[in-house]
Amino acid sequence: MLPLIVGLALPFSITLCHAELAVGDTVKITLRGVPADEQQKVNGDYRIGDSGTIRLPMIDTPVTARGLTGDQLARAAEKAYRDAGVYEKPAIETEVKTGVEATPDQSVVYIGGQVRKPGPVPFAKGMTLLQALKTAGDRNEFGGRNIVLTRKGKATRLDFRKQEDKNTAIEPGDVITVEQAGALEVNRG
């Protein structure tokens, strides 16, 4: 009886590990087993989209979440990072949230690749590609001009040298990946 009383007093609740995840649920993902700066790229809240998946930084393919438990999702995310060659031995913990506080309007954009501060960043209405990259600290010294914008599973290649590409409108849930500069390419902003 005590857990029920405590659960009602909180602005959101944590579901049990054996409950199946559904579209709209929010999952807090915590990465362990890698350096702290790498953890910051991944740690955060992820909303399960209409497709039943979540998009994790540095992984091109969405990870299926609908129908899994929190523990099963953690194992699937670990496998996705290993299969993508991003981390050899990631250890992921999940915390499933439901209720009013759990779905903060899915207003995030995921920025990865060659940027100074990769990971989820807050979405702002009217945000452009340039503004999103500035929020992530801009391209790092290895960042090239080619940027891949993935929206609802469809990838579009953009050229950061073109003003119209810099002004591309960004939407919540977009995944922006800055590719590494080629041998002859110079990062000039």
Domain end (from 102, 126, 147): 102
**DSSP letters spanning 17-69:** TTSPP-TT-EEEEEEESS-HHHHHHH-EEEE--TTSEE--TT-SSPEE-TT--
pLDDT of residue 103: 40
pLDDT digits (tens, 9 = 90+) for 60-101: 889 999 899 999 999 999 999 999 999 999 999 998 875 434
**How many domains are there within the chain?**
2
In a domain, 3, yes or no: no
Residues 119 and 96 reside in one and the same domain:
no
Residues 63 and 118 reside in one and the same domain:
no
pLDDT of residue 106: 54
pLDDT of residue 108: 83
Whether 14 shows a pLDDT value over 90: the answer reads no
DSSP at 101: G
Whether 17 shows a pLDDT value over 50: the answer reads no
Query: Mean pLDDT across the chain, nearest whole number?
Result: 80
What residue numbers bound the domain in which 133 lies?
108-180
Cα torsion 87, 63, 120, 149 to 10°: value is 100
pLDDT of residue 13: 33
Mean pLDDT for 7-33 is: 63
pLDDT digits (tens, 9 = 90+) for 119-137: 888 888 899 999 999 998 9
Mean pLDDT for 49-55 is: 87
Domain end (from 54, 69, 102): 102
Q: Which is it for the CA torsion 24, 26, 82, 137, positive or negative?
A: positive
Residues 150 and 94 reside in one and the same domain:
no
Residues 30 and 98 reside in one and the same domain:
yes
Q: How confident is the model at residue 102 (pLDDT cuts 50, 70, 90)?
A: very low
pLDDT of residue 161: 92
Mean pLDDT for 47-59 is: 88
Domain end (from 86, 102, 118): 102
pLDDT of residue 8: 31
Whether 112 shows a pLDDT value over 90: the answer reads no
Helix (H) or strand (E) holding 115: none
Residues 118 and 137 reside in one and the same domain:
yes
In a domain, 95, yes or no: yes
